[in-house]
């Protein structure tokens, strides 16, 4: 008999005024009891709308049924059929706009907490795993993956499970891509990412760090080395700036630089050798998940006041609702309908303040959102000593400029068909390198689709 | 892990290391750089390639001990390993079509200027090298430059070796004496490059400089290395490190380079204490 409670089980979390001073994970995860209780809310309905809402089509009702019966390992096996990174997805997927959005229980009451259950199952497995992974027998075919972020790791995992000899090339000294340099520890502990990568290595996936494809090796050389197909999941790339006065002052960071210093280079640790500005007042420009991450990191590094400066209103904020709520609870100040026009310097060429126009919403623009227009008046000036620009990225030109026959769009994204196939034979691509900045799960979906296409391509060669 | 094949102290604060890194050696060209980490949890620092040996599979770096990381790197011995070594990064220095070039090197920047001189010389270009150091003890790569140059002017600030004066003095004298250069390539401290550019601008000689700003990933991801060139924001790691010197906003670059001075001085002292303790 299903549990017909209208509300879902709350996620146990660190209290806001405690967690805003540490880098430990905010959400603590369900207990076994909470998980079983929540799982029983699933009606196991015939239509399974949640499954089609998932970019990698996890068999959601099936794994939840196993959770309800306490068969957590079985639940894990079911998730694994579709996802290579369940502990990551359970944490960072925007479930509210995917699987949970379509949940029948959400029509009257709250949707089943699918993401929280996925996270529970993955954590349970990682904590209790003793089973040896069965490394699939090699089929003798080699595939190269460029980039070890979510799309690359997913593609690698799926191909390895089919017996391919997969090598992942990573430019940085550590594998994981945005999962390690971008998303902060308190949202996605790096030990979890490492476990997921170790699971892939156990399947036989090789990871070569310190290798920049387009510089250290070219795509052509990968083919020369015997790889039969290449998947490019090189990520988003060059941070954008607004082009306003003062953007090159000391104390102005791109979100990528700030987060890389904090996460990958461990500037958040007391004994870290990585320099970072311990600013007292910080303005983060932008309204996406990355902006929320940067703002919350700045707070945890000891800032007294942290502003999110965003030119539209709360309704248009592109960040996940949960992230915005977390940020607000922790004391981030939202300066909405506010658009920076200049960053002002002190005598030392460091940031002293940021000048902004006040905005109001006009007619809808091409994105369908109402266009912010400048309001009459003086505008406002926020006194800050650091500014973090989090307004998106432009594709990295390295691979495009060194790979013949690889076509890109006007803005530089790699062109692919719906299966991830590029304009160059045997080269596939997915993730932010194709779509521009998007989410972890969409990148994983693209990696998965490409893995299937690569498998078919090599089999039919 | 990357093995230190050879280590040589060039002067009291400048060290040469030949690092075994086969893939990097295979691809490296003059003007490109690498990023290294000495140990786990270490800082990522960019260093320009000073030489490479494709057959041996080694890349030479020459660095001055200026901060905690270079101090730590300097403490490594021949045969020991460093954690990470990635490259070659950046766009190689353009050398095609040049018939007569003046290469200007200042201090440890000479180490970066040298492979460019060497390549141009081997391509049959007439190379005039002007290298400057504070004093005789700090002179590096004199023989190497002699072999790669048609004319070599060695300058010291105090006149303890070569000619007394700045590199700009020697360059000006060469230009005034009627030498006509297709291009001047200047590599050294920001202030030196700024003044070389001011000088060559007067004479209308195209000038290329190599910028080495604060950097993290070296592949275009972080934007920390941005500069203003011709009024536009450029990333040294993917757009450079070479730029048209007459377009570079040096004053801004000089100010930006001091962003972590306090932090660096503190870290340097800590590292010195740590290394001294180890020696006890």
Answer yes or no: is A251 within a domain: yes
Mean pLDDT of chain A: 92
Domain boundary among A370, A391, A412: A391
How many structural domains are present in chain A?
3
Answer yes or no: is A8 within a domain: no
* Residue-number span of the structural domain to which A415 is assigned: 142-237+394-460
What band does A3 get if pLDDT is binned at 50, 70 and 90?
confident
In this structure, the number of other CB atoms found within 10 A of the CB of residue A39 comes to 27
Is residue A364 packed enough to be buried (19+ CB in 10 Å), middle (13-18) or exposed (0-12)?
A: exposed
Are A118 and A149 contained in the same domain? no
What pLDDT, on the 0 to 100 scale, is given for residue B277?
Answer: 63
- Residues in chain A closer than 8 A to B260 (CB atoms): 275
Q: Which residue in the set A172, A241, A265 is minimally distant from B233, CB to CB?
A: A241
Q: Which among B44, B221, B260 is positioned nearest to A257, based on CA atoms?
A: B221
Alpha helices by DSSP H, chain B: 22-27, 68-74, 110-122, 142-148, 167-176, 190-203, 236-239, 250-256, 261-279
Task: Write the DSSP string, A238-296.
Answer: EEP----BTTTSBTEEEHHHHHIIIIIT-TTSTT--------SEEEEE--SHHHHHHHH
- Return the CATH number at A378: 3.50.50.60
Nearest CA-CA distance, residue B34 and chain A, Å: 10
Are A330 and A403 contained in the same domain? no
Please indicate whether residue A270 or residue B156 has the higher confidence score (pLDDT): B156
CB contact under 8 A, A257 and B223: yes
What pLDDT, on the 0 to 100 scale, is given for residue A1?
Answer: 65
Are A307 and A249 contained in the same domain? yes
CB contact under 8 A, A238 and B44: no
- Residues in chain B closer than 8 A to A173 (CB atoms): 37, 44, 83-84, 86
Label the pairing between strands A165-169 and A142-146: parallel
What pLDDT, on the 0 to 100 scale, is given for residue A150?
Answer: 94
Answer yes or no: is A3 within a domain: no
Are A251 and A380 contained in the same domain? yes
- Please give the DSSP secondary-structure letter assigned to residue B107: G
> What would the mean pLDDT of A234-249 be, rounded to a whole number?
91
| Nearest Cα residue in chain B from A210 | B86
Residues of chain B with pLDDT under 70: 274-280
Are A275 and A349 contained in the same domain? yes
Q: Which residue in the set B68, B69, B86 is minimally distant from A212, CB to CB?
A: B86
Answer yes or no: is A324 within a domain: yes
Answer yes or no: is A6 within a domain: no
Most B CBs within 10 A among A234, A235, A238, hence the mutation to make, goes to A238
Task: Write the DSSP string, A384-420.
Answer: -SEEEE-S-EE--SHHHHHSTT--B-TTSPBP--TTS
By the CB < 8 Å criterion, does A171 face chain B? yes
Q: Examine the pLDDT at A274 and tell me if it is beyond 90.
A: no
Are A270 and A379 contained in the same domain? yes
Are A192 and A268 contained in the same domain? no
Residue A167 bridge partners (DSSP)? A144, A206
Instruction: Identify the contact set of chain B against chain A, taking CB-CB distances under 8 A.
Output: 23-24, 27, 37, 41-44, 68-69, 83-89, 216-224, 226-228, 233, 235, 238, 252, 255-256, 258-260, 263-264, 267
pLDDT tens per residue across span B168-187: 999 999 999 999 999 999 99
Helices A440-459 and A150-161, packing angle to 10 deg? 40
What pLDDT, on the 0 to 100 scale, is given for residue B12?
Answer: 87
User: How many CB pairs below 8 Å do chains A and B form together?
Assistant: 109
Are A211 and A290 contained in the same domain? no
Nearest CA-CA distance, residue A343 and chain B, Å: 15
Three-state DSSP state, A177: coil
Are A385 and A442 contained in the same domain? no
Please tell me the least confidently modeled range out of A274-283, A381-390, B19-28, B167-176: A274-283
pLDDT tens per residue across span B74-130: 999 999 999 999 999 999 999 989 999 999 999 999 998 999 999 999 999 999 999
| Nearest Cα residue in chain A from B25 | A216
Answer yes or no: is A11 within a domain: no
> What would the mean pLDDT of A363-379 be, rounded to a whole number?
87
> What would the mean pLDDT of A207-211 be, rounded to a whole number?
96
Are A368 and A268 contained in the same domain? yes
CB contact under 8 A, A273 and B43: yes
pLDDT tens per residue across span A407-416: 999 888 999 9
- Return the CATH number at A75: 1.10.1060.10
Separation between Cα atoms, residue A408 and residue B279, nearest integer Å? 56
Percent of chain A with pLDDT over 90: 77
Domain boundary among A391, A407, A426: A391
| Nearest Cα residue in chain B from A235 | B221
Sign of the C-alpha dihedral computed for residues A365, A370, A374 and A379 taken in this order = negative
Q: Examine the pLDDT at A287 and tell me if it is beyond 90.
A: yes
Whether B159 contacts B133, CB under 8 Å: no
What pLDDT, on the 0 to 100 scale, is given for residue A131?
Answer: 61
User: What is the distance of C-alpha B107 from the center of its chain?
Assistant: 9
What pLDDT, on the 0 to 100 scale, is given for residue A83?
Answer: 87
What pLDDT, on the 0 to 100 scale, is given for residue A130?
Answer: 65
- Residues in chain B closer than 8 A to A169 (CB atoms): none
Domain boundary among A337, A362, A391: A391
Mean pLDDT of chain B: 91
What pLDDT, on the 0 to 100 scale, is given for residue A145?
Answer: 98
What band does A454 get if pLDDT is binned at 50, 70 and 90?
very high
- Residues in chain A closer than 8 A to B235 (CB atoms): 238
> What would the mean pLDDT of A379-397 be, rounded to a whole number?
92
What pLDDT, on the 0 to 100 scale, is given for residue B273?
Answer: 72
In this structure, the number of other CB atoms found within 10 A of the CB of residue A441 comes to 23
Separation between Cα atoms, residue A58 and residue A80, nearest integer Å? 8
Answer yes or no: is A334 within a domain: yes
Which H or E run includes A17?
helix A16-19
Answer yes or no: is A18 within a domain: no
Q: Which domains does chain B have, with CATH numbers?
A: 2-89 (2.40.30.10), 100-257 (3.40.50.80)
Q: What is the pTM of this model?
A: 0.90
Are A90 and A148 contained in the same domain? no
Are A246 and A347 contained in the same domain? yes
Q: Examine the pLDDT at A121 and tell me if it is beyond 80.
A: yes
What band does A355 get if pLDDT is binned at 50, 70 and 90?
very high
> What would the mean pLDDT of A74-81 be, rounded to a whole number?
93
């Amino acid at each position: 008999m299903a549990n017909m409670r209208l509300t879902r089980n709350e996620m146990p979390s660190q209290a806001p005024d405690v967690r805003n001073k540490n880098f430990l994970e905010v959400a603590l995860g369900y207990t076994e009891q909470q998980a079983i209780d929540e799982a029983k809310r699933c009606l196991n309905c015939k239509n399974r709308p949640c499954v089609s809402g998932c970019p990698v089509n996890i068999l959601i009702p099936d794994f939840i049924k196993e959770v309800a019966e306490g068969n957590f390992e079985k639940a894990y096996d079911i998730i694994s059929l579709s996802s290579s990174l369940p502990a990551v997805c359970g944490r960072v997927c925007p479930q509210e706009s995917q699987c949970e959005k379509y949940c029948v229980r959400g029509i009257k009451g709250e949707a089943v907490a699918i993401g929280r259950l996925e996270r529970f199952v993955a954590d349970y497995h990682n904590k209790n795993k003793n089973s040896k992974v069965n490394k699939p027998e090699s089929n003798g075919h080699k595939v190269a993956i460029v980039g070890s972020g979510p799309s690359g790791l997913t593609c690698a995992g799926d191909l390895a499970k089919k017996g391919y000899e997969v090598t992942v090339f990573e430019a940085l000294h550590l594998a994981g891509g945005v999962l390690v340099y971008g998303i902060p520890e308190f949202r996605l502990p790096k030990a979890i990412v490492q476990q997921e990568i170790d699971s892939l290595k156990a399947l036989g996936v090789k990871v070569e760090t310190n290798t920049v494809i387009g510089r250290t090796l070219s795509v052509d050389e990968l083919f020369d080395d015997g790889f039969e197909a290449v998947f490019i999941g090189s990520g988003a790339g060059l941070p954008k700036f607004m082009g306003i006065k003062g953007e090159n002052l000391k104390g102005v960071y791109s979100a990528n630089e700030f987060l890389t210093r904090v996460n990958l280079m461990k500037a958040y640790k007391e004994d870290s050798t990585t320099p970072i500005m311990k600013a007292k007042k910080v303005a983060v420009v932008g309204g996406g998940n990355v902006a929320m991450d940067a703002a919350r990191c700045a707070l945890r590094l000891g800032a007294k006041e942290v502003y999110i400066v965003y030119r539209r209103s709360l309704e248009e904020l592109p960040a996940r609702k949960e992230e915005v709520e977390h940020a607000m609870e922790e004391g981030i100040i939202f300066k909405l309908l506010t658009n920076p026009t200049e960053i002002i310097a002190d005598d030392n060429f460091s940031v002293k303040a940021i000048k902004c126009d006040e905005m109001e919403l006009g007619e809808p623009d091409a994105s369908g959102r109402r266009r912010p227009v400048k309001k009459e008046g003086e505008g406002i000036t926020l006194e800050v000593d650091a500014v973090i620009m989090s307004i998106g990225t432009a594709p990295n030109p390295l691979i495009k400029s060194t790979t013949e026959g690889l076509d890109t769009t006007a803005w530089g994204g790699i062109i692919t068909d719906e299966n991830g196939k590029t304009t160059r034979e045997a080269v596939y691509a997915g993730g932010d390198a194709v779509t521009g900045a998007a989410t972890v799960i969409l990148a994983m979906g693209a990696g998965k689709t490409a893995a299937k296409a690569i498998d078919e391509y090599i089999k039919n060669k | 892990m990357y093995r230190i094949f050879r280590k040589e102290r060039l002067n009291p604060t400048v060290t040469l290391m030949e690092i075994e890194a086969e893939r990097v050696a295979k691809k490296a060209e003059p003007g490109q750089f690498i990023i290294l980490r000495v140990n786990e949890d270490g800082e990522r620092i960019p260093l320009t390639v000073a030489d490479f040996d494709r057959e041996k599979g080694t890349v030479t770096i020459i660095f001055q001990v200026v901060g905690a990381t270079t101090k730590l790197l300097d403490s490594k011995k021949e045969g020991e390993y460093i954690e990470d070594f990635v490259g070659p990064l950046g766009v190689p220095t353009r050398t095609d079509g040049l018939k007569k070039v003046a290469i200007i090197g200042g201090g440890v920047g000479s180490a970066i200027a040298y492979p460019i001189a060497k390549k141009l010389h081997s391509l049959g270009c007439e190379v005039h090298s002007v290298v400057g150091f504070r004093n005789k003890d700090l002179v590096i790569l004199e023989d190497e430059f002699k072999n790669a140059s048609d004319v070599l002017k060695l300058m010291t600030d105090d006149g303890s070796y070569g000619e007394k004066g700045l590199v700009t003095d020697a360059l000006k004298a060469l230009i005034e004496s009627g030498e006509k250069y297709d291009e001047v390539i200047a590599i050294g401290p920001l202030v030196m490059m700024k003044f070389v550019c001011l000088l060559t601008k007067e004479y209308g000689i195209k000038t290329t400089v190599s910028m080495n700003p604060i950097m993290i990933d070296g592949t275009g991801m972080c934007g920390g290395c941005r500069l203003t060139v011709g009024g536009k924001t450029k990333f040294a790691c993917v757009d450079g490190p070479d730029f048209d010197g007459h377009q570079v906003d040096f004053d801004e670059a000089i100010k930006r380079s001091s962003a972590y001075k306090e932090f660096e001085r503190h870290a340097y002292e800590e590292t010195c204490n740590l290394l001294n303790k180890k020696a006890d």
